[in-house]
Amino acid sequence: MPKPVPADLDALLNRPDLWRGGNCARPAGAAVGSGHAALDAVLPDGGWPCGSLTEVLTGALGAGELSLFLPALRQLDAEAGWIVLVAPPAPVHAPAWHQLGLPLSRLLVVEAGGADAAWACEQLLGSGALAALLAWLPAADARSLRRLQLASSGSRTLSLIFRPERVASQASPAPLRLALRGRHDGLQVDILKRRGPPLAQPITLSIERPLPWSRLDQPVRPPAPVATARHTA
């Protein structure tokens, strides 16, 4: 015979930081939809959480590490604030940003290295003026990540910290951790950590790419001849 659940336990289970092993935690705060139904279904908040850190582990550039977040970034309007990139791994190309439907008028780039980058993130999160923070912190230690998690928990900012794949085995204070890997049929998203039971299977998403994914199934064309003579009209 199952014992009746004491009332105190119900109150406890209402806390966003406590959950039963089989279920996900209750949504803790605001979230912004990821634009992929399959992903929203497995994220405890039903989307990317605003007001806590999300750690994204990526390999080489070009797998679609930014494109995964495009639908969410487009939803953040001018009221929500600025989008700030801290220590991006390569210069951001303005025409691409514009073509993808993101406003350049609310984008700022902060070039900083090492400890300065983490410091800049903390300052930016504390200002309350950001809709999204995208930071590349390959060398950040657990202490500075914990500081960022604290700074982020007081804000409404979508906080994405990009780190290399090799730190997957290290502990992290971020409540949500993802590993991204490019594949030939989409972007493979592996949820390493979430407030809920571990996910057995990585999910593969057809994120936006410059060409339709079906193009990858077509046979390889030989490259065009090299441009040697000057083109004359």
Partner 1 sequence: MRWLAIHFFRLPVEVLALPAPAAAVAQQRIVAADRPAEQAGIRPGMRLADALALTAALRPHERQPAREHAMLESLACWAGHFTPQVSLAPPDTLLLEIGGCLRLFGGQAALLDAIRQGAEAQGLSLRFGLADTPLAAHWLTLADSTADDWQAALAALPVAVLALNDGACKRLRALGLDTLGQLFALPSASLGHRFGQQLPLQLARARGELADPQVPFAFPERFVQRLELPARVEHADHLLFAARRLLLALAGWLAARMAGISTCTLVLQHEDIPPTRLALGFAALTRDAERFLRVTREQLERHTLAEPVVELQLIADAPQDLPGNNSALFGQQGAGDIGPVVERLRARLGDTAVHGLALQDDHRPECASRAVDWPDEKSAAQPAATQRPLWLKPEPQALHEVAGRPTHGGTPLRLLTRAERIESGWWDADEALGDLRRDYFVAVTAQGNWLWIFRDPAGWWLHGYFG
Residue numbers at the binding site for partner 1 (CB under 8 A):
59-67, 79-82, 88-100, 104-112, 116, 119-120, 123-124, 126-131, 181-184, 209-211, 215-216, 220-224, 226-228, 230-231
Comparing CB distances to partner 1, the nearer of 154 and 197 is 154
Structure token digits, residue 127: 């200002």
Helix (H) or strand (E) holding 153: helix 142-153
Question: 179, 229, 191: which is closest to 38 by C-alpha?
Answer: 191
Smallest distance, partner 1 to C-beta of residue 175, A: 23
The amino acid occupying position 29 is: G
Structure tokens at 85: 């990139």
Residue 122 near residue 140 (C-beta atoms within 8 A) = no
Nearer to partner 1, 120 or 174 (CB): 120
Q: Around Cβ 85, how many Cβ atoms within 10 Å?
A: 21
Indicate the residue among 26 and 190 with the shorter CB distance to partner 1.
Answer: 190
Q: How far is the CB of 57 from partner 1 (least distance, A)?
A: 15
Q: How far is the CB of 130 from partner 1 (least distance, A)?
A: 7
> Which residue's entry shows tokens 């982020």?
152
Q: How far is the CB of 8 from partner 1 (least distance, A)?
A: 36
